[in-house]
Amino acid sequence: MADLTSDFVGIKSPNPFWLASAPPTDKEYNVRRAFEAGWGGVVWKTLGEAGPPIVNVNGPRYGAIYGADRRLLGLNNIELITDRSLEINIEEITRVKKDYPDHAVVVSLMVPCEEGPWKDILRRLEDTGADGVELNFGCPHGMAERGMGSAVGQVPEYIQMVTEWVKMHSDYPCIVKLTPNITDVRFPARAAQAGGADAVSLINTINSIVSVNLDTLVPEPTIDGHGAHGGYCGPAVKPIALNMVAEIARDVETANLPISGIGGITTWRDAVEFMALGAGNVQVCTAAMTYGFKVVQEMISGLSQYMDEKGIASTAEIVGKAVPKAKNWQDLNLNFVTKAEIDQDLCIKCGRCYASCEDTSHQAIAMSEDRVFTVKDEKCVACNLCVNVCPVEGCISMRELAIGEVDERTGKKVEGYANWTTHPNNPGATCG
């Protein structure tokens, strides 16, 4: 069993799997069960300022996208921050942290964009024993319309300002949670860093309408004949989150800014991908909400097996390993040539590669009378679509042409590395 202990901006936890700020971490009962199930830490569901608590809708607050066999792929919610009083939450945080000193308890916060309320709530946390705070600049619905959540996260100046207040009025490690509902995630990340943030966490949910009921023609989830946009999460958002994490990890300005990776993490594999692209730890919500807290056991055993197999001693060794390999398009080798190859022993003759290539791509697959499918090298541009639509894993693969080999499509010999920046067709090419 590999050593899974994690140290994220000084916050220690038995493993890098935290529950994200969300319904699973809304109260003591859940968090105790989560720690017993094996979660390394929690970000307590967002607290608002003292006074009358937030109210939620009393109809459905979730909607979903499904795959085969009703497997939940994407979840949308219109729930707000905690609807329980600040006092009760603080009591519970204090009790839980006392009983679980080795587990991470970070508290998510969202109060109006003024110094007073931030100073006040930080003071109230002083005796809880919490390990850090996470600033919720991400929620895209309900609170944003009141000038909080993603309304702050969409304005880098506000991010910096609030982060500065938090660092000024507390000693807590400060994690700034970013919204994906912006055009370039590097700007809010830079602002958080400029404000003194110890880390960023991302992504929060994506603005979404999950479905429209075709009988009533009302968006879902439906509240009394109407629907509102919500926040989208779950396996479906993972590619978007991975890219945003990598964008920040690759940015020279924020290359050393720790990242807590969030977005559709469902198995240990997803977690390792986030960590390889720069996340120091990961936060999970939808997988737990879909299957219960026990999923963490598979994440722990999977990560452990992977680290043992790869000879990795600590989780920190994984962090950022793939970052140098994540490039911009113009840096890719245009002289790298591959051709699709179909393994006839594995082929089940469904013809999906043929249909997709013939109808929508490059007419590079031939079909014989007896349903044998072969690649026409003179047509194949190696787009990979056939690999992606083939239902049999490993049946179609890409063969790399060696330097000097002739590409039958172009009739030219494969040459060494050259990218767009030096390509003759590029009017801005630097050299020739």
Partner 1 sequence: MSHTPSAPDIAAGRCTSEEISERFSDLHPPLTNHEALVAADRCYFCFDAPCTVACPTSIDIPLFIRQISAGTAEAAARTIFDQNILGGMCARVCPTETLCEEVCVRETAEGKPVIIGQLQRFATDKLMASGAHPYERAPETGKTVAIVGAGPAGLACAHRLAMHGHSITVYDARPKGGGLNEYGIAAYKAPGDFAQQELAWLMSIGGIVIETGARLGDDLSLDLLHSDHDAVFLGVGLAGVNALALDGTHGGVSDAVDWIETMRQSPDKTDIAVGRNVVVIGGGMTAVDAAIQSKMLGAETVTIAYRRDKDAMSASEYEQELATSKGVHILYNATPESIANGEITFSRTGTDERITLPADQIMRAIGQKLESASPDMAIEGGKIKVDDNGRTSVEGIWAGGDCASGGEDLTVTAVAEGRDAAEDIHANLMKGA
> Counting contacts by CB under 8 A, is residue 363 touching partner 1?
no
CA distances from 279 to 150, 250, 326, 394 (A): 21, 12, 14, 30
Residue 422, amino acid: T
Closest CA to 178 of 261, 76, 111: 261
> Counting contacts by CB under 8 A, is residue 312 touching partner 1?
no
> Counting contacts by CB under 8 A, is residue 393 touching partner 1?
no
> Counting contacts by CB under 8 A, is residue 366 touching partner 1?
no
Q: For this structure, is 139 an active site residue?
A: yes
Structure token digits, residue 249: 């990890």
- Compose the 399-428 pattern: x for residues touching partner 1 by CB under 8 A, - for all others: ------------------------------
Rounded least distance, CB 367 to partner 1, Å: 8
Contact 187, 156 (CB under 8 A): yes
Q: Which of 348, 372, 406, 429 binds partner 1 (CB under 8 A)?
A: 348
Site size for partner 1, by CB under 8 A?
14
Contact 207, 181 (CB under 8 A): yes
Q: Which stretch binds partner 1 (CB under 8 A): 22-30, 151-159, 321-329, 342-350?
A: 342-350
> Counting contacts by CB under 8 A, is residue 355 touching partner 1?
yes
Distance CA 56, CA 67 (A): 29
> Counting contacts by CB under 8 A, is residue 349 touching partner 1?
yes
- Compose the 209-248 pattern: x for residues touching partner 1 by CB under 8 A, - for all others: ----------------------------------------
Rounded least distance, CB 221 to partner 1, Å: 19
One of 139, 353, 390, 395 is an active-site residue; which one? 139
CA atoms within 13 A on the CB side of 262: 29
Structure token digits, residue 173: 């490690």
Using the minimum distance from each CB to partner 1, give the nearer residue, 88 or 348. Answer: 348
Q: Which stretch binds partner 1 (CB under 8 A): 184-192, 242-250, 332-340, 352-360?
A: 352-360
> Counting contacts by CB under 8 A, is residue 367 touching partner 1?
yes
Using the minimum distance from each CB to partner 1, give the nearer residue, 70 or 226. Answer: 70
- Residue 81 CB: number of other CB atoms within 10 A? 24
Residue 77, amino acid: N
DSSP state of 175: E
Contact 268, 309 (CB under 8 A): no
Residue found by looking up tokens 């390999």 in the block: 325
- The torsion angles phi and psi of 80, rounded to 5 degrees, stand at -100, -170
Find the length of the chain. Answer: 432
Per CB under 8 A, which of residues 155..174 are in contact with partner 1? Answer: none
- Residue 91 CB: number of other CB atoms within 10 A? 13
Rounded least distance, CB 383 to partner 1, Å: 18
Q: Which of 52, 58, 70, 183 binds partner 1 (CB under 8 A)?
A: 70
Closest CA to 169 of 131, 116, 128, 127: 116
Using the minimum distance from each CB to partner 1, give the nearer residue, 95 or 362. Answer: 362
Rounded least distance, CB 222 to partner 1, Å: 18
Q: Name the residues that contact partner 1, by CB under 8 A.
A: 68-70, 348-352, 354-355, 367, 371, 391-392
Active site residues: 139
